[in-house]
Structure 1
Amino acid sequence: MKDKKLDLNSIIGFALIFGILIWMLYRNQPSQKEIDAEKAKKEQVVQTEKAKTAPAKESVIAAIDTTSGDSLQLAKLKGSLGNFAYSATLPSAKETFTTIENKLVSIKVANKGGYIVEAKLKNFERFKRGSGQMVELIKDNNSHLNIQLQTQDNRTLNTKDLFFEPTVTKVGENQILTMRLKAGANEFLEYKYVLKPNDYMLDFDVRSQGLSKVLNTSKPLDLEWSLKAYRNEKSISYENRYADLRYEHEEGKYDNVGDGNDKKETVEEVSYIAFKQHFFASILLTKTSFKTAELYSTKLIVDEEKDTVFTKQFRANVPLAFNNGEVDYKMNWYFGPSDYKTLKAYDKNLDKIIPLGWGIFGWINKFIFIPLFGFLSSYIAYGIAIIVFTILIKIAMSPITYKSFLSQAKMKVLRPEINELGEKYKKDPGKKQQETMKLYTKAGVNPMAGCIPALIQIPFMYASFQFFPSAFELRQKSFLWADDLSSFDQIAKLPFHIPLYGDHVSLFPILAAIAIFFYMKMTSGDQQMAAPQQEGMPDMAKMMKIMIYVSPIMMLIFFNTYGAGLSLYNFISNLITIGIMIVIKKYVVDENKIHAQIQENKLKEPKKQGKFQRKMQEMMEQAEAQKALQKKK
């Protein structure tokens, strides 16, 4: 088959067709007269529409010149409001940015909206050390600040859509960025940012000047601040657990909106609002309390394998009240770590955003755990500091542990006599309880002595569950196989995801589970030996045997995604407790001596009953009296 080629006739044909098309386009284009007529017609339509929508009084309206890209911020009109105008062609009416920075943070502010569009922390990396990705609390349009302006003719303007004019100055080492939304030479809305050296906190002032003739000042301006919190840690589930919206209100009260979907709170007299992530926070503070605040939080993680970018969506709406026709608020922004010492140094109660626990649990963390661990970690590596910290806590608690074991030993010695009373008064439980209490009193044994030491240790255990997840200093600190003590210590990656457990295997939780298994096996055996045989006791014994296996499994599952520091603490704590128990049993507590002492106590004048024992005795006697009365009836 021959190749097809263009011949002379084909070339001439294509040339003629092209020429005809050009001629047709030329003949069909409108003349200058027609263009002018069409333009005049459009202008007439625009003027007609303006006439329809314009109010009786002349006013000032906001608009954007979409053809030029410059901001036609307000049209210049004359009337009862006087001569008041925005510049129609401000040089700042472009989407450009201004950056101020120090050694700790870099802040980028946009001309459009005048708010912060980038807040980068220079000394902290995302996910793990060496990743090269710095922590950015604000970036890629994840945060907005907007003030709604209500004009006197009931129009609504949004500052996020309008262009501010930036001016950068320096006073000493302080960098000052002034952003003005101008209405004239001396009429404007102003945001002023002041960044000091070596500081995570900026001064942030919002004030107006000369706008009382344009704005409706009968009600406050509505300021809205929102932020979608970026994930910055290795475990998104662990980070999400400690991300929440916290605030201070009513002169010293602290609270949070709560975890979950679409959580909302309306609070009064708010002095600061914190969008807290696990180890970082964005906080807005005000010297003049916000009269009210509408706060909103929702979680953005539905599927942990897919939702891996953001953790929470936060939003706050607050009113900015007018004073003599103008707004003037002195505020601050904080963009930095949720580190207890750093936040406390500002002396603005910002340390309250860290969940250290309420009441006695918080006191233990503030006055024992934080100072002690801070001291140790300033001299030795963090992993070693956790071990030494745990040893010191357990040594301090050892007298309580000793009393608990001593009480168990005494109850164990008395058990045969208690069982005899049980057999003797088998048909009269009330009498049996009375005689048992008399035996305790005569022998000088307090049945509650073993419970009280255990109760005393509970606050310290709970405090540790609050302390380690909040310890910023553990972030990205390695120890043995754990590359980050603030996150899980993965030793194996699973090819599938197990509900509640995760898609990896952590080693410290396994060690902690083994330790707690042996600890419970030892203590449950002693408790069963010490406890008197009573009705229902076989079921109780069976339950305790089940707990020996259930507790380690629960720890293994739930601690798999927890921080390695907490798992290490629990492993060492249970290991030390086991060691203390062995030493006390073998070298401190002598059951033969205890038995001899009890027998000697029986021969002496019975000791005065304690309040608890006396109360129990009275209750039993009253029960017996009522029972006897019922029998007579």
Structure 2
Amino acid sequence: MEQKKLDLSTIIGFVLIFGIVAWMMIQNQPSKEELAAEKAKKEQAEKAKQQNVLKAAKTEAVEIAAPGDTSQLKALRGKLGDFAYSATMPTAKEGVTVLENDLVKLTISNKGGYIKEATLKKFERFKKNSGELVELVNKNNASLNLSLNTRDNHVLQTRDLFFEPVVTKIGDSQVVTMRLHAGPDKFLEYRYVLKADDYMLDFDVRSQGLAGVLNNAKPVDMNWDLKAFRNEKSISYENRYAEIRYDYEDGKHTYVGQGKDAKETAEDVAFIAYKQHFFASILLTKTPFKTVDFTSKNLVDDEKKDTVFTKAFGSKIPLAFNNAGEIDYKMNWYYGPADYKLLKKYDRNIEDIIPLGWGIFGWINKLIFVPLFGFLSSFIAYGIAIILFTLIIKLVMSPITYRSFLSQAKMKVLRPEIQEINAKEKDAVKRQQATMALYNKAGVNPLAGCIPALIQLPFVYASFQFFPSAIELRQKSFLWADDLSSFDEVAKLPFRIPVYGDHVSLFPILAAIAIFFYMKMTSGDQAMSQPTQEGMPDMSKVMKIMIYLSPLMMLLFFNNYGSGLSLYNFISNLVTIGIMFVIKRYVVDEQKIHAQIQENKKKEKPQGKFQKKMQEMMEQAEAQKKLKK
């Protein structure tokens, strides 16, 4: 198949544009004085914000009725209506209740009744062996709030009100019931049930006796907000995979965009996932939410300064009243690792939050890569598992590689005759007809070299999705890499290079070297197999540019990627070079191919469908050309 060729001047133009953009990025970096001023401004704003928070906390602290203080109770009734009853209870004070098993620890606040801390006990933050566990929720980075519109025209926020906690057990499950009272038998209830050895907990929201208290003319707005903590070594790499994902309209799955301030609305939502790179906070509902408004804000403008949070997620969820004028929602909450195999076991489609790719790419990952790598890594070290995984994939694909090289060899043998045709036939249509006739006689299909390459492309793309999503690689070391899910820094630079970063990773360098030698080996054959057409640049010159451009792109873009992916690419190219060497030296014999082609020419061979179709198209083009003349 004749490949699409780039004009040499176009390639040079791309390189110049890339250089100009890089130079502009360096020149437009702020000065030290500007950075210092910006930092001082941010610190002042943060200080003012903290003072406002403290001031608000002091104001809310007085919203509790002292025993027997009827005047204060009357004042609270003026502000809270029937829910002033909650301020008279003994539990109307700051306090927490803990739900805990071997996997997760959840701390629930009396004030607001929501989870204010969620800690994963089996995972550490990016500072390995520091003892700092992964925290999905900590103090003021998350909230769950219901806006209650009462019949006496009050608008109350549950995050500011005190719930009564009750702790019980059902078998091995721990149960915490949080009730916001509007009277002895009137309340809003959050019910949390945590099973043993499970990241998933039941979460029910219901009301009792509030039909005459709440205005049910419109649904109650539930707002779930969370600022995602940084838990990985590279905050920019982690931020790339931090996003809201959700299931809607009975099985459809999508995500909120990665923009600075992304907003989206969806209907019939079955679950909402605040996904970080390797962890997730997921709210599931058995009764789909009718509409949900999502917001996602990027909090990393400068990874040197913005080192605590990646994104701020928000969901506005309307909870509808039932026919009795009450709220009753059966839900679940998941705080745990974004592990494909673990999430799939729940059979709620939440494994779809793992970005394994769409279409055929996703199927390759789900049916081949995930089970194969899971099997290998179950009994050998993860670095060795990647190497063995790569060897198996490349060996399975070797027959396809062989077909590609065989096709190139055939085209290379025919090149002198094609050049003869090009020199003899000046008319483009007749030249193509003669070339197709030669292909048909020789028994050569020009598409045969492209089809094997196209078959391999989905596997290449699938690997780019699989390795960044493989939580198995997190904090697993190999050789000099201390974390295969992050970059393998071997040297720290005293400055930052745009796109590249401020460090040197070794596996991308090795992968770039392997790509260089791979392209060096193949560039000659590819150029020889593709005859130069009149008015088109010599492919050998184009390939010479690509020999150096491809390794450069590997160095630039993979320096900040996970070292597991770079290791895979390094081994993959190394194995391909070995397979090519064996095929070219011991399998593909150009003399035998030439003899076979000459033998094919002597035989009468009917045109194939492809050749026949091409012949018809060329004849039609020739007829139209004559008609115009």
Q: Does 1:365 align with 2:365?
A: yes
Partner of 2:130: 131
Structure-to-structure mapping, 1:237-252, within 5 angstroms: 237-252=236-251
Shift of 1:587: 0.3
How far off is 1:539 after superposition?
5.0
Cα shift readout 1:150-183 (whole Å, capped 9, x = no counterpart): 0113321000000000000011111000000001
User: What are the residue-to-residue correspondences of 1:508-587 with 2, within 5 Å?
Assistant: 508-587=507-586
* In 2, Cα distance between equivalents of 1:84 and 1:263: 36
Whole-angstrom distance in 2 between the partners of 1:67 and 1:288: 35
**CA distance in structure 1 between the partners assigned to 2:74 and 2:610 by the alignment:** 79
Of 526-535 and 251-260, the range deviating more from structure 2: 526-535
| In the alignment, structure 1 residue 623 sits paired with structure 2 residue 599 | no
User: Structure 1, residues 569-593: CA drift from partner, whole Å, max 9, x if none?
Assistant: 0000000001111111100000000
SS at match of 1:356: coil
Question: Residues 149 and 221 of structure 1 are in contact (CA less than 8 Å); yes or no, is this contact kept in structure 2?
Answer: yes
- The one-letter amino acid paired with 1:328 is D
Moved more, 612-621 or 439-448: 612-621
Q: 2 CA distance for matches of 1:621 and 1:64?
A: 86
2:315 is equivalent to residue 319 of structure 1: no
Aligned to 2:351: 351
Q: How does 1:281-292 map to 2 (within 5 A)?
A: 281-292=280-291
Contact 1:74–1:183 (CA under 8 A) maintained in structure 2: no
Q: Is the contact made by 1:121 and 1:336 (CA closer than 8 Å) also made in structure 2?
A: yes
Q: Does 1:468 align with 2:467?
A: yes
Count of aligned residue pairs for this structure pair: 564
Q: Which residue of 2 aligns with 1:335?
A: 335
Structural mapping, 1:173-212, within 5 Å: 173-212=172-211
What residue is the counterpart of 2:62 in the other structure? 66
CA contact (8 A) 2:83 2:181 kept: no
Percent sequence identity is 71
| Higher RCO (CA < 8 A, seq sep 6+) | 2
Q: Secondary structure at the match of 1:538?
A: coil
- Secondary structure of the corresponding residue to residue 86 of structure 1: helix
Q: Does 1:153 align with 2:152?
A: yes
Change in Cα spacing, 1:628 to 1:67, as seen in structure 2 (3 Å) is closer
1:89 Cα shift?
2.2
Distance in 1 of aligned mates of 2:220 and 2:400? 59
Secondary structure of the equivalent of 1:95?
A: coil
1:42 corresponds to = none
Which residue is equivalent to 1:216? 215
Q: TM-score, normalised by structure 2?
A: 0.87
Alpha-carbon offset, residue 558 of structure 1: 0.7
Does structure 1 residue 612 correspond to structure 2 residue 610? yes
In structure 2, the partner of 1:258 is 257
Q: Distance in 2 between matches of 1:243 and 1:87?
A: 38
Distance 1:503 1:83, change over 3 A: closer
CA distance in 1, matches of 2:328, 2:136: 27
Offset of residue 618 of structure 1: 1.4
Other-structure match for 2:230: 231
TM-score for both structures, normalised by structure 1: 0.87
Single out whichever of 104-113 and 517-526 deviates more from structure 2: 517-526
Change (3 A) 1:116 1:65: closer
Distance 1:515 1:129, change over 3 A: same
Q: Between Structure 1 and Structure 2, whose CA radius of gyration is higher?
A: 1
Native 8 Å contact 2:230 2:238 kept in 1: yes
Measured after TM superposition, the shift of residue 225 of structure 1 is: 0.2
* 3-state DSSP of counterpart to 1:485: coil
Partner secondary structure for residue 85 of structure 2: coil
Residue 568 (structure 1) shift: 0.3
Shift of 1:68: 5.7
CA-based RMSD: 1.8
Amino acid at match of 1:358: W
Summarize the Cα distance change of 1:263–1:118 in structure 2 as closer, same or farther, 3 Å threshold: same
After TM superposition, give the deviation of residue 87 of structure 1 in Å. 4.8
Task: Measure how far apart 1:85 and its partner are.
Answer: 6.5
3-state secondary structure, aligned to 2:392: helix
Superposed displacement of residue 337, structure 1? 0.2
Q: Deviations over 1:383-410 (max 9, x none)?
A: 0000000000000000000000000000
Q: SS of 2:140's equivalent?
A: coil
Residues 88 and 229 of structure 1: is their aligned pair in 2 closer, same or farther, counting only changes over 3 Å? closer
Match of residue 140 from structure 2: 141
- Residue of structure 2 equivalent to 1:114: 113
Q: Distance in 1 between matches of 2:321 and 2:117?
A: 29
Q: Are the counterparts in 1 of residues 412 and 530 from structure 2 also a CA contact under 8 Å?
A: yes
Q: How do 1:432-447 and structure 2 match up within 5 A?
A: 432-447=431-446
Partner of 1:310: 309
Aligned to 2:414: 414
Secondary structure, in 3 states, of the residue corresponding to 2:559?
Answer: helix
* Other structure's SS at 1:372 match: helix
Checking the alignment, whether the CA contact within 8 Å between 1:75 and 1:85 is kept in structure 2 is: no
Instruction: Say whether the 8 Å CA contact 2:86–2:180 is kept in structure 1.
Output: no
